[in-house]
Structure 1
Amino acid sequence: MIGDESDLKLSDNAITLLRRRYLLKNEKGEVIETPVEMFRRVAKAVAAADALYGDNPASSEEEFYRLMTSLYFLPNSPTLMNAGTEIGQLSACFVLPVFDSLTSIFDTLKHMALIQQSGGGTGFSFSRLRPRGDIVGSTKGVASGPVSFMRIFDVATEVIKQGGRRRGANIGVLSVSHPDIIEFIRAKEHEGVLRNFNISVGVTDAFMDALYHGESYPLVNPRTGEVTVELDAEVIFDLIVHMAHKNGEPGMLFIDEINRKNPTPGVGVIEATNPCITSDTWIMTAEGARQVRELVGKRFAVVVNGKKWETTRRGFFRTGIKQVLRLVTLEGFELRLTPDHPVKRVGRGGHRVEGEWIRAQDLRPGDKLIVNDHTSLGGWDGRFTEKEGYIAGLLLGDGRKYMGPYSSENSRECVSMKLISKELGLDLKNKIITEEMERSSSEFYRGLIRGIFDVSGSVQEDHLKGVVIKLSHENLELLKAMQRMLLRMGIFSRISGFGLKDRPLKPNELVISGRSVLHFYNKIGFGDKEKMNRLYQAIRCYRGRIPPERFVATVKELVPDGVEDVYDLQVPGINSFDANGFHLHNCGEQPLLPYESCNLGSINLARMVTDDGEIAWDLLAETVRTSVHFLDNVIDVNRYPLPQIEEITRANRKIGLGVMGFSELLLRLHVPYGSEEGIEVAERVMSFIANEARKRSQEIAEARGPFKNFEGSIWDERGYSAIRNATLTTIAPTGSISIIAGTTSGIEPLFGLAFVRNVMDGRRLIEVNHVFEEVSRSHGFYSSDLMKRIAKSGTIRDIMEIPSDIRDIFQTAMDIAPEWHVRMQAAFQRYVDNGVSKTVNLPHDATLEDVREVFLLAHRLGCKGITVYRYRSRHEQVLTLDAHIELDTEYASGCPVRRCLH
């Protein structure tokens, strides 16, 4: 083995780590392969996927081998450990669902064990579990709550990791709206509790809005959908800040930001919160009005503002059983939907009807909502004629004087009308507009509306509104249906109900005013000649004073309306649809699929620098292309621990190409981490990687086909003809593989210029930054005593004999102001499909206000999540500075100068 390892220019620490955890061993625990052989094993196993597509694996094997042995790129640890072995499980992270039943919880526990046994990490959302103290129906006892079950998962992980090569790693998430959120936030208050979990609070936009406005927000029982209590958002936020300051947890995950950017569901450990509507909702389609229940699993065309848009082939899909609200407007329009469903509201300020999306639960009385303007829609085919519609309208309005030949019981017309009435479900006693009527052709609509208005309508003049057309009827439900039908014809109306105690029988009225009067005249008209002439004369009189129609409805109230099955769909290109007349946003991703996994790999940016101190863009491009090919192949050769995982992973083909050594790249470019120039480098590098990755994924898709769920994905919406992978980029922490590569972790700044790294099994590896050692020698200020001083504090910030320009460049994590940490994370996030792993390392004397500002800035800058760690806030931590280290500075480095520097 000696010789092969030095050919790879591996550090002493890397060799130690590889021998302990990565290299194959025999039954006696003896290492039986070299690092070179490990890379060859991995390259051969991953390249084998090429044969599935008729390509020659041999050339790819050589490419992959050179990619890894040059330390330009390394895949995640399970791939290095398991590729080419009987285990064969190569993915790093898995999302497992936790449903609210004992069977589901312990099924998930079993699945977690299988995944962790093969080296994978697991993430869970515990938000579906009923809260502590809630009723357990089967036993009539009380539930113990999510945190209690997390302890069971934690103990199981502790047992599994004792026999594993990789630390058991769990991420636990709980929604900020869960009734047990306070217990969850405090769950790790005492060190050693839930030690195998990192925990984060899933924070919504609604919570952050309540925080910014000093308002309360509701806690909702996930079992019933009922609000249990309202809490002051600031109190909860302050508790999160306090606990994060105390020991680094919980972090915050901005779930709505994640879902806005998600091309497919289940990124990281976060459950998507699909907005939904009920099955009885009316959708305007190119074939007329249809209810959601008729459109499940079917491709169709929606009509939005008179224009047609194709949905994906699956049409509406069920998203589960959820709490439902009833949205009621002053104008009479109503809709049943989930609290998180976005509706289009008139933008704040001004009278122009410009929309902004807002969740239903965030609406307030008086908010103006945009409804659909179908004035440009020509019509649609369907059952029943205008004549049949007119007779039905007369019957609903009791218009016997208009019936003519239909009034004779034995006439052919009357017999025909009886048959049609039966098909329409017409009930002359209840006098309602039936579902079959709403499904009919636009010609039937025209006749029906004209017939009802001939009997019960009137033309009036109003000193404020000018000409108005009114329809009076005792049946409010008939007027609501009539309002929906008029809107589909491009005619806006309002319903006003009197309901006064002294006039209890006064009928409700539907009122048409403004420009909609003209549309009624041109599209519908009266059959009654006297009313039609009155309308014609009134329009002539007021023509120059008829105001435009705004197609806006005013929120009256939102009321809880039970729990039931709900549905959503996708409409590529416009991402919205007409539901009971309202503009609704479609879901941001496909329905949530549990058991998603992702395989990761990272490019070593420290190797992407030319001898002249510039970024080697051509080399970086080539590395990205080969890495995408490598990671895509992993999906095909992977052996999945569960069939559900295999099915979904192959359907979405998510990969997560990231970076490591970013801090070292900046050092080699002589750019400070905490600077505008540092932010600019981050954006240039990550945007370049993202673009090259997309190009390569498109090329692979052209040869091998896109991922199965491509249709309806965000890539489909953006006009891509095909792409191989639902996601392409992720910034992982790269703790172990960065040691193998001999560079800095992920996008983290230097923790210290000398520090101790605690790795698995309690071992302590000493690392001294080799770039600084090189610079100190070349600038002539290197000395053994100086290195010992640096080793005690990790920083050179206050060592004045070192030139100031070098002190500025060699910043450590705790030298950098918290703002720059967050801004750097946000810079990468702008060009990353999935999440960005980064910790805001704070000095021990950081304040609660420092932590608070970090969290708020992360939200404002669009980060998907944020984690802070105040130095020495725990007794046990991965990286430490040590005032008592004794070092031989020339060789104690993680990578001795004479072997590693180019």
Structure 2
Amino acid sequence: MPDTIRPAAVNDNAEVVLSRRYYRKDAEGNPTENATQMFWRVAAGIAAEEAKYTESPYTPDQLAQEFYDLMTSFKFLPNSPTLMNAGTSLGQLAACFVLPVGDSMEEIFDAVKHAALIHKSGGGTGFSFSRLRQKDAVVGSTGGVASGPLSFLRIFNTATEQVKQGGTRRGANMGILRVDHPDILEFISAKERDGELNNFNLSVALTERFMQAVEKDEDYDLVTPHTHEVVAQLKARDVFNRLVCKAWESGDPGIIFLDRINRDNPTPAQGEMESTNPCGEQPLLPYEACNLGSVNLALMVRGEGDGTEVDWDELRRVVHMSVRFLDNVIDASKYPLDRITETVRKNRKIGLGVMGFADLLFQLRIPYCSQEGLQLGEQVMKFIREQARAASKKLAKERGPFPAYDESIFAEQDLGPYRNATTTTIAPTGTLSIIAGCSSGVEPLFALSFARHVMDGDKLVEVNPYFEDALKQAGAWSSSLMEEVAKKGTIRDMDYLPEDLRGVFVTAMDFAAEWHLRMQASFQKYTDNAVSKTVNLAHSATKDDIRAIYWMAYEMGCKGVTVYRDGCKAVQVLYTGDSAPGEVQEEEIVRERPDVVYGFTQKIETGLGAMYLTINEVDHKPFEVFATIGKSGRSITAKAEAIGRLVSLALRSGISVRAVVQQLKGIGGEHPVFRKKGMIMSIPDAIAWVLEQRYITQDESPVTGGDDLLAPSCPECGAELHFQEGCFLCGACGYTKCG
């Protein structure tokens, strides 16, 4: 690394994310590099590929400096595996892969093995299980019967559970089944119970024939994959309604529009696309991978005040440099399978997307939920795709087109030659946007301001900088207002603030769900691949609302859609075997008690006497609680027993320890007592104290009482999780279940 290199400046939150997930570490897990060293490692490793191309206008050293400046200015960042692994011996730089699952035991377990290798190297995988014959179909080679796609999907899920992605990323999968597969109803209901298939996102692949049958209220055929025979029919509207109902209940499964995806397949001679990556934004052929990156639109502006505008010249420069970067990544990456290396380098797909769009709208004073906002999204993405394709053409002159160009749609339409079969994707940017200090992807903000807990229980209020500047310019800023915004996250109902501010600075739940979908469609219009975007709905949203969103997505040309009704995972409403499609029936979800459990008993003084709290554990997690207070009278004993039973029921129903502590902590009583570590106010407060001391680490943010049970908390730091871009994300530490 040159001595003259400008040090990388990252904010405190970015430093936490980088040190936890991106820096190289020693055998004890301690970081061995800082932000400057990490970005230079990546820049130099990717720029070194330039030496292969004699027609390049750059030397590797010159390009390394360009790439370093590009990333440390946070105008562009590549996907996480590139930041983690570029310039290392592992060298696997792609984020997403699709593997085929064939209809034989050998092919199925080859896919399991290959997925494990990909997860180990830091990638996520997508699978279509549509080739597998249905449950109870005859297996000719053995004379037995098939167990069906769902049984094998569970095997994939279990295998993923055992593999840690390079020690830095969690296993993430997409499982897809065609809507005309005979086992489709079982698939739709596969994640009814919370925790089932926890390493998978699921999507149903809808065909246009099916959607036409829904529109006409007709039956449609179920086709067995191995013989292509029609084995049954279902009423299309009933199946569609079941999809809507499951999305209302839990958000799973999502939907993709398979024919729409394949119409945009740039290399149809190589086969049909049947699956996507884990978050759905990257449809791929079997054995393909794609490396992704994002331009920070928050920094693509010039001028001040009313003269603020998009800096199209700078956006053009950044897009061209980013395309060169991503094309080099393909050469630098060490893929886990030779078949993947061959397919990736045959098509050389890249996916350049964006982050910071909400911040761009803030600076231009354009409401997200407005026609002007939709037009800007479409205009920006059209410009990015035009420039990305222009950059790809330039690289084709220097380096040659992608090897499969002659059999691509570009050759047929005389549009090329291009270096890359695709150039644009709107990918999730959860952790990348934390590093860059901007809003995520094309999503609106979840909150304009929020309180972050730091060391010693202190509270730091973080505010969106563009919102804070606007308040100061309007003469409306005050510390008390910031506290109020941090509590609510939104200013929608603050009538005392200027109306124009309340119109521009909106958050994800401030406007109708259809605006989310319209914005997704605006970006999709000029995106080669697909758009990762969550349509957020209020908890009060109805199934009709979701049905309308699904139909709008189909009509507006989206390639898929993910909806999330706020708090929907807190209550699970299940189908029973006797229920007709569209009919639901409530059912309890409580884990059965094993015959033998182990635990501990802790004595704790309360104002009503000594309480003996027994906590039994399963898999090192609290499973049941027994509270006993001697010599306190029957009434107190009964109350302690009742609280213990209810806490046990909550824990056995999958509610987190943190959520239980939040509800019990701070409940007052008539006889509080003082301890060295604080005051015990009541029996429930005492139970909360023991649970917190035992199961919530000192590294996590402190628990405050009375928080909403509907808001899931981060398992690593305890902060509130938000569902966006198809996955839960922690804005505090960067945790995401989707990698």
TM class by shorter chain equals 0.7 to 0.9
Shift of 1:679: 0.7
User: Structure 1: any 5+ residue segments left out of the alignment?
Assistant: 274-591, 759-763, 885-892, 896-902
Counterparts of 1:826-837 in structure 2 under 5 Å? 826-837=521-532
User: Which whole-Å CA distance do the structure 1 matches of 2:199 and 2:174 have between them?
Assistant: 8
Counterparts of 1:349-498 in structure 2 under 5 Å? none
Shift of 1:157: 1.4
Q: Is 2:98–2:285's contact at 8 Å kept on the other side of the alignment?
A: no
Q: What residue number does 1:587 align with?
A: none
Q: What residue number does 1:864 align with?
A: 559
Q: 2:353 aligns with which of 638, 643, 658?
A: 658
Shift of 1:815: 1.1
Q: 2:227 aligns with which of 207, 224, 229?
A: 224
1:631 is aligned to 2:326:
yes
User: Which whole-Å CA distance do the structure 1 matches of 2:300 and 2:48 have between them?
Assistant: 28
Q: What residue number does 1:640 align with?
A: 335
Q: What residue number does 1:11 align with?
A: 11
Counterpart amino acid of residue 718 in structure 1 = Q
Q: 2:291 aligns with which of 570, 574, 599?
A: 599
CA spacing shift, 1:738–1:610, aligned 2, 3 Å? same
User: Which whole-Å CA distance do the structure 2 matches of 1:32 and 1:883 have between them?
Assistant: 30
Counterpart amino acid of residue 58 in structure 1 = D
Q: What residue number does 2:314 align with?
A: 619
CA spacing shift, 1:882–1:269, aligned 2, 3 Å? farther
Q: What residue number does 2:162 align with?
A: 159
CA spacing shift, 1:724–1:124, aligned 2, 3 Å? same
Counterparts of 1:466-545 in structure 2 under 5 Å? none
Counterparts of 1:181-196 in structure 2 under 5 Å? 181-196=184-199
Q: 2:95 aligns with which of 75, 92, 96?
A: 92
Q: What residue number does 1:610 align with?
A: 302
Q: Is 2:713–2:720's contact at 8 Å kept on the other side of the alignment?
A: no
CA spacing shift, 1:179–1:877, aligned 2, 3 Å? farther
CA spacing shift, 1:699–1:807, aligned 2, 3 Å? same
Shift of 1:816: 2.0
Counterpart amino acid of residue 251 in structure 1 = G
Q: What residue number does 2:38 align with?
A: 38
Q: What residue number does 1:452 align with?
A: none
User: Which whole-Å CA distance do the structure 2 matches of 1:185 and 1:878 have between them?
Assistant: 27
Shift of 1:894: 8.2
Bigger RCO (CA 8 Å, 6+ sep): 1
User: Which whole-Å CA distance do the structure 1 matches of 2:325 and 2:203 have between them?
Assistant: 32
Q: Is 1:755–1:881's contact at 8 Å kept on the other side of the alignment?
A: no
User: Which whole-Å CA distance do the structure 1 matches of 2:19 and 2:460 have between them?
Assistant: 14
Q: What residue number does 1:249 align with?
A: 252
CA spacing shift, 1:8–1:806, aligned 2, 3 Å? farther
Q: Is 1:173–1:269's contact at 8 Å kept on the other side of the alignment?
A: no
SS in 1 for 2:568: coil
Q: What residue number does 2:399 align with?
A: 704
Shift of 1:611: 3.2
User: Which whole-Å CA distance do the structure 1 matches of 2:270 and 2:361 have between them?
Assistant: 29
Shift of 1:719: 1.2
Q: Is 1:248–1:870's contact at 8 Å kept on the other side of the alignment?
A: yes
Shift of 1:35: 0.6
User: Which whole-Å CA distance do the structure 1 matches of 2:212 and 2:122 have between them?
Assistant: 40
User: Which whole-Å CA distance do the structure 1 matches of 2:419 and 2:720 have between them?
Assistant: 51
Q: Deviations over 1:47-100 (max 9, x none)?
A: 111111126211111111110010000000000000000100000100100001
SS in 2 for 1:32: coil
Q: Is 2:461–2:483's contact at 8 Å kept on the other side of the alignment?
A: no
Q: Deviations over 1:454-487 (max 9, x none)?
A: xxxxxxxxxxxxxxxxxxxxxxxxxxxxxxxxxx
SS in 2 for 1:141: coil
User: Which whole-Å CA distance do the structure 2 matches of 1:236 and 1:756 have between them?
Assistant: 43
Q: What residue number does 1:716 align with?
A: 411
Q: What residue number does 1:393 align with?
A: none
Q: Deviations over 1:142-181 (max 9, x none)?
A: 2111111111111221221376201211111100000111
User: Structure 2: any 5+ residue segments left out of the alignment?
Assistant: 277-283, 454-458, 570-711, 722-729, 733-739
Q: What residue number does 1:77 align with?
A: 80
Counterpart amino acid of residue 28 in structure 2 = K
Shift of 1:818: 1.4
Q: What residue number does 2:28 align with?
A: 28
Counterpart amino acid of residue 133 in structure 2 = R
* Percentage identity across paired residues of the two chains: 55
Q: What residue number does 1:733 align with?
A: 428
Q: Deviations over 1:665-707 (max 9, x none)?
A: 1111100001000011011111111001111110110111000
TM-score (normalizing by structure 2): 0.73
Q: 1:841 aligns with which of 536, 544, 550?
A: 536
User: Which whole-Å CA distance do the structure 1 matches of 2:513 and 2:206 have between them?
Assistant: 21
Q: Is 1:123–1:268's contact at 8 Å kept on the other side of the alignment?
A: no
1:752 is aligned to 2:447:
yes
SS in 2 for 1:841: strand
Shift of 1:769: 2.2
Q: Is 1:22–1:80's contact at 8 Å kept on the other side of the alignment?
A: yes
Counterpart amino acid of residue 236 in structure 1 = V
User: Which whole-Å CA distance do the structure 1 matches of 2:123 and 2:463 have between them?
Assistant: 30
Q: Is 1:754–1:881's contact at 8 Å kept on the other side of the alignment?
A: no
User: Which whole-Å CA distance do the structure 1 matches of 2:180 and 2:450 have between them?
Assistant: 40
SS in 2 for 1:142: coil
Q: Is 1:752–1:881's contact at 8 Å kept on the other side of the alignment?
A: no
Q: Is 2:75–2:318's contact at 8 Å kept on the other side of the alignment?
A: yes
Q: 2:175 aligns with which of 172, 189, 193?
A: 172
Q: Deviations over 1:533-579 (max 9, x none)?
A: xxxxxxxxxxxxxxxxxxxxxxxxxxxxxxxxxxxxxxxxxxxxxxx
CA spacing shift, 1:661–1:859, aligned 2, 3 Å? same
Q: Is 1:95–1:268's contact at 8 Å kept on the other side of the alignment?
A: no
Counterpart amino acid of residue 43 in structure 1 = A
User: Which whole-Å CA distance do the structure 2 matches of 1:646 and 1:747 have between them?
Assistant: 31
User: Which whole-Å CA distance do the structure 1 matches of 2:720 and 2:119 have between them?
Assistant: 36
User: Which whole-Å CA distance do the structure 2 matches of 1:798 and 1:771 have between them?
Assistant: 19
SS in 2 for 1:733: coil
Q: Deviations over 1:249-292 (max 9, x none)?
A: 1111000001111212599994189xxxxxxxxxxxxxxxxxxx
CA spacing shift, 1:766–1:117, aligned 2, 3 Å? farther
User: Which whole-Å CA distance do the structure 2 matches of 1:894 and 1:13 have between them?
Assistant: 9
User: Which whole-Å CA distance do the structure 1 matches of 2:522 and 2:339 have between them?
Assistant: 35
Shift of 1:111: 0.6
Shift of 1:765: 11
1:198 is aligned to 2:201:
yes
SS in 1 for 2:406: coil
User: Which whole-Å CA distance do the structure 2 matches of 1:880 and 1:82 have between them?
Assistant: 25
CA spacing shift, 1:883–1:835, aligned 2, 3 Å? closer
Q: Is 1:267–1:834's contact at 8 Å kept on the other side of the alignment?
A: no
SS in 2 for 1:806: helix
CA spacing shift, 1:864–1:597, aligned 2, 3 Å? same
Q: Is 1:265–1:593's contact at 8 Å kept on the other side of the alignment?
A: no
Q: What residue number does 1:291 align with?
A: none
User: Which whole-Å CA distance do the structure 1 matches of 2:155 and 2:19 have between them?
Assistant: 32
CA spacing shift, 1:183–1:879, aligned 2, 3 Å? farther
Counterpart amino acid of residue 24 in structure 1 = R
- The answer to which of 608-617 and 36-45 deviates more is 608-617
Q: Is 1:46–1:83's contact at 8 Å kept on the other side of the alignment?
A: yes
Q: Deviations over 1:565-597 (max 9, x none)?
A: xxxxxxxxxxxxxxxxxxxxxxxxxxx952000
Counterpart amino acid of residue 219 in structure 1 = L
Shift of 1:752: 1.7
Q: Is 1:94–1:597's contact at 8 Å kept on the other side of the alignment?
A: yes
User: Which whole-Å CA distance do the structure 1 matches of 2:715 and 2:382 have between them?
Assistant: 31
Give 1 or 2 for the bigger CA radius of gyration.
1
User: Which whole-Å CA distance do the structure 2 matches of 1:87 and 1:201 have between them?
Assistant: 34
CA spacing shift, 1:267–1:771, aligned 2, 3 Å? farther
Q: Is 1:95–1:269's contact at 8 Å kept on the other side of the alignment?
A: no
User: Which whole-Å CA distance do the structure 1 matches of 2:430 and 2:316 have between them?
Assistant: 24
Shift of 1:715: 1.2
Counterpart amino acid of residue 76 in structure 2 = F
Shift of 1:799: 1.2
